[in-house]
Structures are given as structure tokens and as C-alpha cells.
Amino acid sequence: MGAGLPREIVTETDLSQYVDTILKGISCAIGPTEKGPIGTPQLISSELQFERTFGGEISASDFPLLAKRALSYGAVLWVSRAAHYADITDKSTLTAVSASATLKDRQETPANTLKVSASSQGVWGDALKVVIADSDLDSTKLFDITVYDGDEEVESFEDLSMDSSSESYVETIKSSYITCADLSTLTNKATARPATGTYSLTGGNDGGAMVDADYIGSATNSTGLHVFDDITDAIQLAVPGVSSPAVISAGLAYCETRGDLLFITETPFNLTPQEAVDFRLGKGAYNHAAFVSNYGAMYYPKLKIYDVSTQKERFISPVGDVLGVMAVNDYMANESYVPAGSRRGRILNAFGVDVNVGSRGRLGDGNYICENQINPVCMFEDTGSVVWGAQTLQRQASLLREVNVRRMLIVIKKTVAAYGRAYIHQPNDPITWKQFYNGIEPKFREWQSARWFYDYRIFCDQDADTIDDAKLNTTESIQRGEFKCQIFIKPVVGIKWVMVDVAITRLDADFEEALTEVVGAA
């Protein structure tokens, strides 16, 4: 049979698939904050947005300051607020508590009718108060809520109802400061309204002191590092301000297991270069296992800043600034460039470092640090503080000991994986193989022109006419549903040492001959 009634039939076919790019400058960061959702990452792109979501600086941790320093460079952060659990495997054991107030209704014998709670846990909520007033629209059935943070009015909600079928039902308000829970069982919703007056929220608690387990978390209930399990657009992960061996080991293991994040970490405070290396290797005063992974990078020493809150100079972790430097590197160039040096590695708003291994008199310390894969932040008179190293924590000599190569591969893997997903369940034959190659090859050509690598080759049997012509994709692998593609890359290597030799010659010397002699001698 044909297609029925003779007519024009117009269809469409999408042959425009291409390899998409990923967003730049995104990192994951976890730490305690003044307020905000606990264990639910929020995408933050500015210091103002951070303060609105997570509050200001706190005495218990430098994390808010370090996160805002990263954001000041233009970095984008998935931020997760951490808090203490009595049992990290049980979310119900969270020790932080939200401030709240329970309001009475308007019966002759008042009963609890509405619980108003701070939108997140912490003592910050104790500064909140709500004012209940009758509605101007209908003073017999509706009411208004005005929210104050201290003496400042921050929100107001008018014409609210205790009737769950109403569009203005009190539990449905969208507030940045409070949540409301209807406690009333009355059928008379006018009487169920909370009594007018001013009510202060109390009982907020930041919870117990943070321990390593709170940062490490549990995979079974998505706490600690595992709150980022579903985040796929970040390149770095950090726990700024925390240098516990247990947390660092867990962070490295988490990133290596995922294969798509680089863990940015640091040495503890007040260490000499020798002690910093001992910490990295688990020697001397330390007895933990050495930190060894090309999915991690360690930075030393601490930065000296001026703290406006105390009006004093003090030292802080470099990790927030390192995340910022990596964002600058990606925006100015791309992820394959080395995120260090005076062009893309400058530290902003810092006076210096507590141990300057970049000074001429400490060359031995600088060499020792770098030979043990710890990345120094150095202070130079002409550039100020600069990230001066970019090595991963891999001990074995290979290009994966370079931060830029690791970050480049993370981006390539993420990009190719997203592209390859479109070919799942496609026919496993030479036509598909060629389509795959034709879609992915232009992206690698673009990367090469942007100086990601010197050269590359892609092999996926793209030139095969039949499955019998294939070399990678054998009949056995085809029968198993496998499509194989092999990509070779020669990564661009960053300059570490500028080698300049000044040769003095005879006055009648021929420079070309002299050059030949020098090169031959080398």
C-alpha cells in the first residue's frame, strides 16, 4: 500500500549534531555558614548572592570569607552549607536547629495555630520577629505577616488565609526568611487566624562543632562531599580552610572515583617548607598515608590579608583564591592553560604570604616544595602574590602530574561523554561510526587551534565500509553492544624554566658558527 490520498509529505531530519562546550569557572565548595540550606548545593555567582543565601562571616570558620574571595575573581560556586551530625549516616541527627515561634489562635481559650520558623537552622534566626495584623482587604478572615530582621523590615505578606484551599494559604508563602506550618484543627478558619501582635523567633542553634565526618559525609544519604553527587558541570572541588588528613584523603578518593573533578587542598597553618613536605608525604610528625593522586593539587603557604571586620592583618587559606585564579585562567584562556604565573595566577587583595619560598634566599625551600608536588604561592616585588606552581599530587613522572593536563582531560572527558550519549542505542555499524567521527573531529580541531594540544588523532573505524574492515570494533565487541573510539593527544606543556645562556665570543667570531658550536656542545 502507498501513503493513501495523494498529497505533499514534508518531514525533517536533524543532521546538525555537534559537540557542545561546558560552562567555565565552576567549582564545588563545602563549609559551615551563618545560614542557608544545609546539604543542598546552591549555585552562587557573586558575593552579594552568597551573603543573601548563606549570610555573613562567622567566628567558627573562614569558609564564608574564602568562598567570597573566590567569587570576587569571577568564579561560580556550587556552595553547600555543612553542619554537625551526631551520626553522619542519619540525617535526623542534625544538631543545628531553626529558631521558631508558635502563635496562638483567636479562641476564647487560645490554642496553637501557626508555627513560624526561620528558613534555615542557626542562631541567625533569633534576630527575626514577625508582626501579625488584620488584613485591610478583609479584617474578619484574612491577616498580614511582616518580617523583621532586627529592626529592619525585610518582607511582608498580605491577605493570608488559614484555609488550605485558598490561593493565599499561609503555608504557601515564598519567603527568604521564614516558613509557616499550620497547626490548627479548627474548621472556623477566621478564628484559626493567629492573634495580632509581635512575636520573636527563639531557639536557633548552629549545632555542634564540625568534625571530619561532617565534611566527608555518607554516600547513602548524600551528606558531606556526596551532596555534589549530582553536580556535573564543575571542574574543581574544595573544602576551603580544612587541612585534616582524613578530609583530604576522602576528597582525593571522591574526585578520583568520579573521574571528573580536581580536589584543591592545602597544608595546615604555621608549617615550614620541610614540615609542609612531611605533611604531604605523611612523614616526620605525621603518620597518615601520603597524598598521591593526579585528581588533587595542594597549595602552600597561607595568604596575608587585611581583615576589615577586625581591622587587623591575619593569615588565611589560599584555596579560595586558587579557585578564583582557575576561573580567571579559564576566562582569559582555557582549561588547558597553566593556572599559575604572573599573567593568570595573580592573587588579588593580599599583602603577601607567611613563608615566601620565591625569594632568592629561599631557593632551596622552593625547590624542595616543588620537587614534592606542593604548589607554592610566592611574593614578588613586581607582581605581588602569585600562584607559582601547578602540579597534581601524582608522584610518578608523567604529564598527568601537571594541573593543566588533568583539567584539560576532565573537560575533554565531560564533553565527549555528553556527545557520545546521543549515540546510545544507535545502529552499531560503519555509518554510525563515520557520523560519530564527523561530529567530534571538528571539536578537536578547534581545541588544537586554541592550543589545547600539539596534535591529536581519532580512531573509531570511521573509514571502514563494512564491519569486516574494522580494526577497533571487532565482531565480538559489536555483538556485545560496544562501540570503541580511541583518541590520542599530545598535550601542550607549560614553561617551567626559562633557560637563557649568554655567550661571550671573539670579536671576529661568526655568530652562526658559534651557535652551531654551542648547540652541538649541548
Question: How far apart (Å, rounded) are the C-alpha atoms in residues 191 and 187?
Answer: 9
Across 452-480, average pLDDT: 96
DSSP-derived letter for residue 97 is: B
| 303 membership: H or E segment, kind and range | strand 303-307
Q: What is the pLDDT of residue 285?
A: 96
Q: What is the pLDDT of residue 183?
A: 97
| 246 membership: H or E segment, kind and range | helix 245-258
> Under 8 Å CB-to-CB from 204, ≥6 apart: which residues?
97, 98, 99, 118, 121, 122, 123, 124, 125, 126
Instruction: Name 417's bridge partners.
Output: none
Q: What is the pLDDT of residue 25?
A: 86
Backbone angles phi, psi at 306, to 5 degrees: -100, 120
Question: How far apart (Å, rounded) are the C-alpha atoms in residues 26 and 11?
Answer: 40
User: Model confidence at 130, in pLDDT bands (50, 70, 90)?
Assistant: very high
Residue 437: CB atoms within 10 A of its CB come to: 16
Sign for the CA dihedral angle at 134, 136, 139, 143 comes to negative
Instruction: Name 149's bridge partners.
Output: 128, 152
Question: How far apart (Å, rounded) are the C-alpha atoms in residues 453 and 444?
Answer: 9
pLDDT, tens digit (0-9, with 9 covering 90-100), for 10-69? 888 887 778 887 778 899 999 999 999 999 999 999 999 999 999 999 999 999 999 999
Q: Are 62 and 11 in contact (CB under 8 A)?
A: no
Kindly report the length of the chain.
Answer: 522
Q: Which long-range contacts (CB under 8 A, 24 or more apart) does 399-404 make?
A: 399/491, 399/493, 400/294, 401/294, 401/373, 402/338, 402/491, 402/493, 402/494, 403/262, 403/297, 403/338, 403/339, 403/340, 403/375, 404/335, 404/336, 404/337, 404/338, 404/339, 404/491, 404/494
Q: Is the pLDDT of residue 218 over 90?
A: yes
Question: How far apart (Å, rounded) are the C-alpha atoms in residues 466 and 206?
Answer: 66
User: Model confidence at 310, in pLDDT bands (50, 70, 90)?
Assistant: confident
Q: What is the pLDDT of residue 348?
A: 94
Q: What is the pLDDT of residue 13?
A: 80
Across 430-451, average pLDDT: 96
User: For all residues of the chain together, what is the average pLDDT?
Assistant: 95
pLDDT, tens digit (0-9, with 9 covering 90-100), for 100-117? 999 999 999 999 999 999
pLDDT, tens digit (0-9, with 9 covering 90-100), for 491-500? 999 999 999 9
Question: How far apart (Å, rounded) are the C-alpha atoms in residues 434 and 441?
Answer: 10
pLDDT, tens digit (0-9, with 9 covering 90-100), for 331-390? 999 999 999 999 999 999 999 999 999 998 899 999 999 999 999 999 999 999 999 999
Question: How far apart (Å, rounded) are the C-alpha atoms in residues 339 and 387?
Answer: 8
What predicted TM-score, i.e. pTM, was given to this entire model? 0.94
Q: What is the pLDDT of residue 521?
A: 73
Instruction: Name 375's bridge partners.
Output: 299
Across 85-92, average pLDDT: 94
Q: Are 76 and 327 in contact (CB under 8 A)?
A: yes
Q: Is the pLDDT of residue 154 over 70?
A: yes
Q: What is the pLDDT of residue 522?
A: 63
* 27: its cell numbers: 567549582
**Residue predicted with more confidence, 437 or 23:** 437
Going along the chain from its start, the domains and CATH numbers come out as 26-87+209-404 (3.40.50.11780), 100-200 (2.60.40.4290), 425-491 (no CATH)
Sign for the CA dihedral angle at 158, 163, 164, 165 comes to negative
Q: What is the pLDDT of residue 1?
A: 58
Instruction: Classify residue 102 by burial, with Cβ atoms within 10 Å: 0-12, 13-18, 19+.
Output: middle
Instruction: Name 131's bridge partners.
Output: 146, 198
Sign for the CA dihedral angle at 352, 358, 359, 363 comes to positive
Q: What is the pLDDT of residue 113?
A: 97
Task: Give the alpha-carbon dihedral of 28, 31, 35, 37, to 10 degrees.
Answer: 50
